[in-house]
Each structure stands twice: as structure tokens, then as C-alpha cells.
Structure 1
Amino acid sequence: MSLSRYLVSRIGQAVIVLWAAFTLSFLLLQMMPGDAVFIKFMGADFVLTPEQLAHIRESYGADNPPLERYFSSLVNTLSGDFGYSIDAGVPVSALLADNVLPTFRLAGLGFVGAVLLSFVLAFLSYFSPFWWLRRFITALPSLFVAIPAFWLGMMLIQIFSFRLGLVPVINPGPWVGLILPVATLAVPISAPIAQILIRNIDDVMTRPFVAVARAKGASLRFAFWRHVLGNALLPVLTICGMLFGELLAGAVVTETVFGLNGIGRLTEAAVATLDVAVLQVVVLLSAACFVTINLVVDLFYPVFDPRLRKSMRAA
């Protein structure tokens, strides 16, 4: 398959996944019990008449047939109109503008921290001078996998904020306030990356070309950086793309634990008020980020895999 056909194929698959995510989320949200209009307006201090409530529902299109609502929502979404939040009374795009950047900043820093931590664990598992320390470091990713993000966040607050007083959680600076949330997000995400990386390094270390390099006088560190690490990275790219969905979910939980503004707090409020328009956009945004990251990973594969690059040129 040529590079252009490969690119068109991957983009086409990404579009289909986004459409499927939109359709499935629309169907599931329409099946939710309750009514956002009723929760918003009948819970107010004043009492609306049935005629007034029906007029409000009509203005939001809540009484339209499901198929009509589906196509209207799909067309509006494609044109960049995500509708109105019934609870907030403002366009959903305005809510996203206020909350997307903090979540992406937290998720991005958490991802970078997870990758760095996984590489440090993999490096120390081979070059630590003590065998017992190497075994301990190799076992750490299995421990990290079992740690729930909300529990880790509360423990970090208890230890580093309340006990040691090193990182404030009340009125912290814009970057100081991200230290503990980023650590909370990075530790569980680093575990599967480190496990895959260590396992692949073990596999590549047994390959003949590594033995040949060592026989020619290459040191273990040189062979590791020059021959082993590059070949062990391909499966890591795949797992990084797959973990991005988990990264966003972890960011939602982390924002709730630390009281940060972002998509997590927005989703929490939308679930409590059954704000379907907001929930629909949050699901679609998560799917779009997941698909985009995996598409970028797929496009980077020919860069890191000479065999795939060679087959594309031959096609």
C-alpha cells in the first residue's frame, strides 16, 4: 500500500469511528431517565405553568422526534454549533472554551510525566548497580497499575500538603497547583507503558544483532541506546495511543479530587443536571482526541519501522 493510500485509509477509518461515537452517544443519552428542562426550571423558586414549560421545551427542541433531533444535532455539530447548555443557559462552545484548555494542559503534562517515568523505570531496571533494586524497580509498574487515581490523589494531598506542607492545595499558583494532579495522573498511566517497554527491551536484548554489537566491543549502554531502545519503541507507540482515552478519564477524576476547573467538573455538573448537549460534546471531544492521537501514532509508524517504510515505497 502506498503512503497516500495508507493516509486516506487511516483518515477514513477515523471519520467512521467519530461518526459511530456520535451516534452511539446520542442513542444512549436519549435513553437516560429524566429531563434536563424539568430539572432546571421546575426546581426553581417560581413554578411554571405546563404551557410555559412546553414553550421552553419547544425552544430547545426537546419535543422534536428523535430522528429529527439526531440529524439536526449531527448537522449542527459538523458546522461547529454544539447547541446550548440548558443548565448554564449559554452555548456549549463557550463552556468548552473555558474548560478545554485546563484539561488538555493537565492531560498533556500527565502524559509527558508518565512517559518520562516509564523510561526512567526501564533504564534503572537494567543499569541499577544492585540486583535487589533492579527487581524492585521491575515490580513497580505492577504496583502502579493497582493504584486508583482518586486514592493516590488523596494520599498525595495528605502527605505533601497536610503533613509536609511542601505543595499547597489551597490557593496555589497556576503551575504549583498542577504538581500533585500531574503526579496523580502520571503514575497509573506510566505503569502499562513501563511494562510494555521493559518486556520489549528484554525481547530485543536477546536478538542476534545485539549479540553481534556486543561481540564487536560495544558497551551495554551503547548497545542499549543505539540498537535496543529504537526497536523496543514500536509497541510502546501503540500502547501510548490506546492509553490516551484512559488519560482523559483519569484527568476527569483528578480534576474532581483536586477541585480543578476543566472538562471533569463540567461533566460532573452535566451528569447531575442531565445536560445532554454538554455530555454529547464531551463524549465526542474525547473520541476525537483518542482518534487523533491514534492516527498520529499510525502515521509515525513508517518513521520508526524501516520495513513498513520500505513496503510503502515498493507499492
Structure 2
Amino acid sequence: MSLLHPPSHLTPAQALTLSQSAPAVLRSLPNNVGKSALQTVASPIENHEVWISYENLLISCLRTGDLESAQECIRRLVDRFGDSNDRVMALQGLVREAEAEDDPKSLEAVLKSYDEILAKDSTNVPIHKRRIALLRSTKKISEAVAGLVTLLDFSPTDAEAWAELADVYLEQGLYAQAVYALEEVLVLTPNAWNMHAHLGEVQLMAASTGSGSNDAATQRYAAEALKRFCRSIELCDDYLRGFYGLKLVTTFILKNASKWSKQIKTSSTEDFTLPDTETVQRLAQLATEKLSEIVRRNTAKEPHWSGYDEAEIAAARELLAGETATIVR
């Protein structure tokens, strides 16, 4: 388990294992900062991998409640970079949030400290993001949205902020706004197959909730979802979520196609056209075959087929089992 890997990708069990080894890891990592600029540059500690390790270890420790080790990590980061470094300030705030736990007064104090920092430097992106995360966790959704809009006003190329905004909108069932925000993410990261699939998921949700009430909007969302899932598997030909979404959207289209007109114009320049039924059926069959292969090879623990999330494999297995049961009946 490498400390250089993003800690958000670790399972709870892996994060716990890493946290439990934190004292030994901290003893093994260099932490002496040179007294002069020359000593600092020449020191073995001036390796970016060391500081990535400290940051990742800190986050894993916070996930598991090891505040003592987290505080030692932040102390060493402050010693090296100072407490006025934007990233270090955000990590300090993260530690204070963990220390506050669920105490409203303590969390409000942390939020106030973020406001004070931003009053002095309104372009401090890490602090903006910590503030938004804290607002979301305390259910201050409208303020979180306002914070994201403010952040994107001066940093419109921040794909992470657009994705966060989409997530906030999605939680509120505002599908059109979520779609818009995710489209901005793809403008910035056009080859991100996971974001193509996520946009397809949101569009399929919008189509499903609107089915029967507005056929034009429903068909448009379904057609766009189909395109997005196809693009995701074009970019990554073993992407489980892409094939899972493709299976869902083709099933949805085949179920509702008889109620829809073949083509609906939403403007004078833009047409949303679904493929013919035969093409949709072929795509559905492709999705079924690929999902079956992924589940089979992952279950058999074949080399190079073990990187899938267990919950996603279980969901794919359930989807395939449901289809088999339907065919048998």
C-alpha cells in the first residue's frame, strides 16, 4: 500500500491499516528541515514524495480518528512550509474540523476562521474548498452553492469545483443544473471516461423521473445518456460503470420507444435522435456480454481483472440475474 496513492481511493480497511502503522511510518520519514536555505535544498527531505506521503498519511489518520498522528503530520508540514501556505492552511482546517467532531459551536468557529482567511485573500482556493465542504456537511446547502459559484467566478477552469457543484445540484434533484455543471467538467476534461458515464447517469435519472410527463424532454435526456455511456466505453473498453449504464439506458429506451416519435427538434439547429430499435438492441446485447465477462473474470480472480469495486461487481451481477429471471418467466 503506497503512501503516494490518493488516500480517497483507499478502502476503509486499507485506511485503517495505514493509520495503525502511522507511528512507524512517521519514524521512517525524514523530518529535519535545514536551518539555512542551502541546507534545506540539499536535505533529503526536499523530495516531493515525502510531503505527499505526509499529506496522504494525515488524511488516512483523520479518516480513522487517529488525531495524534494527524497532528504530528501537520506539525511537520507547518515546520517545512509555514502556516501561511494555502495548502497547509486547508489541511490545518481539516484537522480542526476533525477535532470539532459534531459540535456545532466548534464547527462554527472553524467556519468563521475560513471566512476570516478569505476576507484577507479571496483567491485562496484550498480554503474556499474546505469552507464549501464544511457548509455541505452542516447542511447549509444554499451557502455551499453560493460558495461554489463564487469560486468558479474567479476560477472557471476548476473541474473539481464544477463536479462538486453538479453533485450539490444532483442531491437536490435539480437535474438540468447538474447536467450543465457536468458538461463544464467535460469541456475541461474531454477524455475523462468516468465523467462521461456520470453525466450519462444523471441524464438517465432525469429521463426516468420525467417519463410520461414530457416525452420530448425524456427522449432528449435518454438520447444524450446513450451517447455519454457509449463515449465512456469507447474511451475505456473495460469500464464497468459505462457498460452498466449502457445496459440500463438501452433497457429504458426499448421499454419506452413505442411512445416516442422518432425525432424531436429542440431548436432550429440541434436534433436529438435516438438510433433505430435494432441498433439499440445490439448495444443492449453488447452491454450484457461485456458485463457478464467482467463479472465472470473478476469472480475467477483472473490476472488484470481484479481492480473493480466489489459493490459495482455485485450490482452488475444482480442486474444480469434480474434479466435472466425475466427471460425465464
Same fold (TM over 0.5): no
Higher relative contact order (CA 8 A, sep 6+): 1
Q: Which structure's residues are more often helix, by fraction?
A: 1
Tell me the TM-score normalized by structure 1.
Answer: 0.27
